[in-house]
Structure 1
Amino acid sequence: MTMPFLSIDWTLVVQLINTGILFLLLSKFLFKPVKAMIDSREAEVSKMYEDASAAKEQADRLQAEYAASISGAKEEANQIVKDAQKRAQMRSDEILTDAQTKASAMMTKAEEEIAREKKKAVNEIKDEISDLAVMIATKVVGKDLNTQDHEQLIQEFIDGAGDLSWKE
């Protein structure tokens, strides 16, 4: 008895063996190199992603450093401006104080000069008045006064004239 379902066809066996040999050959010469190439490309892509990630991190770090540097530079510039303003204010105060001191000294000197000139003018007027008083007294009395009488008349006249105020 033969079984029709299990009949072995040698062509089928040969085809199976050929398929197995073809699979082994393809596996050795095609699948392994293709798999190696795919693994290599996958490694390259992974390395590219890692490099890009590292570059992004470095860029972020450099950006943060740049921002900190800019902030520091702005603070330093503000401090320089404040220091310059302080120095300018101090110099301005020094100049004003010096000018006030010089003006005060000039006023004091002017007042002293005015007082000296006033005293000089008063003395000149006293001398002229005393000369006029002597001349008038000589003409009125008709005689020369002695030194003592002369001094007494001058003093009386000056005392009387000292009460008058000068108008400018």
Structure 2
Amino acid sequence: MQVQELVGIVPWTFIAQICNLFLQVYLIKRFLFKPINNMLAKRKELADAQIQEAVKAKEEAETMKSEYEQGIRDARNKANEIVAAAQKTAAVQSEELLKEAASQAAAMKAKAESDIAQEKRKAVNEIKDEIGGMAMEIAGKVIEREISEEDHAKLIDDFIANVGETS
């Protein structure tokens, strides 16, 4: 009969084992699963917070990048405006210099023409005097008489008029 006792179920032992199992499950759940679950929840919250911070940092970086790119575009536009203004200023200054040079050249030309005309009058007057003297000598030799001052002036004027018409 001892063999049967090994296989048989003793009700008080079975009840004690069931109570022991429930007690172990309760203790494991109370002192092991709850702290582990709490720790896992805290780690999950920490990971979620870090992910949120990373997303926020990424958005800020993208905002800064777009501001930086806008700043670069603005700087390029400003540089283009400065270059255009410098080109306009250079064109205006160039035009003014050309006008000033043209006016100086015209003034120099007018002065040169004035000087030429004055030299021409001076040369004509000198030639008149020389021609008048030569005409007097020639006339004196041809006529062999002395010419009065009036006749002399009239001959000079006639000669100059004839010379002026031929030249």
Determine what percentage of the aligned residue pairs are the same residue. 42
Counterpart of 2:42 in structure 1 is: 40
Deviation sequence 1:92-124 (CA, Å, 0-9, x none): 111111101100100000000000001111111
C-alpha distance in 2 between matches for 1:152 and 1:101:
46
Distance across 1 between alignment mates of 2:96 and 2:72 = 36
Unaligned runs of 5+ in 2: 1-8
Q: What does 1:120-159 correspond to in 2, within 5 Å?
A: 120-159=122-161
* Structure ranking higher in helix proportion: 2
Once the two structures are superposed, the pairs formed by residues 84-103 of structure 1 within 5 Å of their partners are: 84-103=86-105
- Picking from 25, 30, 33, the partner of 2:32 is 30
Cα-to-partner distance string for 1:54-94 (whole Å, 9 max, x where unaligned): 01111111111111111111101100110110111111111
> Matched residues in 2 for 1:71 and 1:159: separation?
82
- Once residues 145 and 93 of structure 1 are traced to their aligned partners in structure 2, the CA distance between those partners, rounded to angstroms, is 66
Which fold has the larger relative contact order, with Cα–Cα distance below 8 Å and residues 6 or more apart in sequence? 2
The aligned residue for residue 118 of structure 2 is 116
Counterpart check, 1:20 vs 2:22: yes
Tell me the CA shift for residue 127 of structure 1: 0.6
Give the gaps of 5 or more residues in structure 1: 1-6
Let me know the Cα RMSD of the aligned residues.
1.2
Q: What is the TM-score of this pair, normalised by structure 2? A: 0.91
How many pairs were matched up? Answer: 159
Give 1:8 deviation, angstroms. Answer: 6.8
Give the deviation of 1:12 after TM superposition: 1.6
CA distance, structure 2, for counterparts of residue 8 and residue 131 of structure 1: 178
Name the SS of the counterpart of 2:166 in structure 1: coil
CA distance in 1, matches of 2:37, 2:141: 152
Taking the aligned partners of 1:143 and 1:46, their CA distance within structure 2 comes to 140
Q: Aligned-pair distance for 1:10?
A: 1.7
